[in-house]
Amino acid sequence: MNLEKPSPVQAPAGIARRRRLAAVGVALAGLLALSGCATTEPTPTPGASGSPSPSASPSTSPSASAEPGEAPAPPADEATPVGVTCQQLITPDDLYAYNPNLAHIDGEAPAAGTPGARAVAAKGVACVYRNLTSNETIVVSASTPGPTALTQARAELSASATPADGLGGEGWFGGGTATVIAGEHLVTVSSDIFTAPADAAQLTTTAVSHLP
């Protein structure tokens, strides 16, 4: 005997529709849960002024100043001590023979910038003599400044003074000063009262004769 399978009992239409709606609701709830787990990037907020602050540029420190170049070496000092004193350059007898009213003023230095001062700077001597009657002064100097200085002096004298004979060497006269280059020595005799080479010739020749 054949037994027929019982046909499934169908749920009423209202119940089936409610089940479908419930399934849709569960699916929507799952989607919402997944969307809640997603991470969202924060929206950048503008600065207090409403505009983004400019990025700070790296500061550059000023470069250190270059070391100044070394100064060129000064010319070699060719001057050597002249090797005489005032008492030897013009002795008391020499001074008396020239003018008995003159006296050596020991310790008095020649004025700055004068031939006598330049002689002292070149390791020479400068001797100041004063006329005890008129108070006029005469300065006699001698130095051994070296070949370079002598060449320069010769060039300057040739341009600014007048060549003069009878002074005891290669001589010039100008501005109250008689200048003589004799060998390695430079001799000057200066005074405001000198107007010609002959006024100083006796002193220049005497000084040159006493140089070593």
DSSP string covering 104-141: E-TTPPPPTTSHHHHHHHTT-EEEEEEETTT--EEEEE
How is the chain split into domains, by residue range? Answer: 86-209
- The rounded distance, in Å, linking the Cα atoms of 37 and 92 is 123
Strands 137-143 and 162-164: unpaired
The structure tokens listed for 179 are 């200048």
- Regarding pTM above 0.75, the answer is no
The structure tokens listed for 202 are 């006796």
Q: Name, in order, each residue with C-beta under 8 angstroms of 97's C-beta and a sequence gap of 6 or more.
A: 202
Please work out, in degrees rounded to the nearest 5, the angle formed at the alpha carbon of residue 169 by the alpha carbons of 191 and 110.
Answer: 30
Q: Using CB atoms within 10 A of its CB, is residue 104 exposed (0-12), middle (13-18) or buried (19+)?
A: middle
The structure tokens listed for 126 are 């400068």
What was the pLDDT predicted at 76? 61
Query: Residue 19: pLDDT band by 50, 70, 90 thresholds?
Result: low
* Per-residue pLDDT reduced to its tens digit, 89-124: 999 999 999 999 999 999 999 999 999 999 999 999
Q: Are 56 and 123 in contact (CB under 8 A)?
A: no
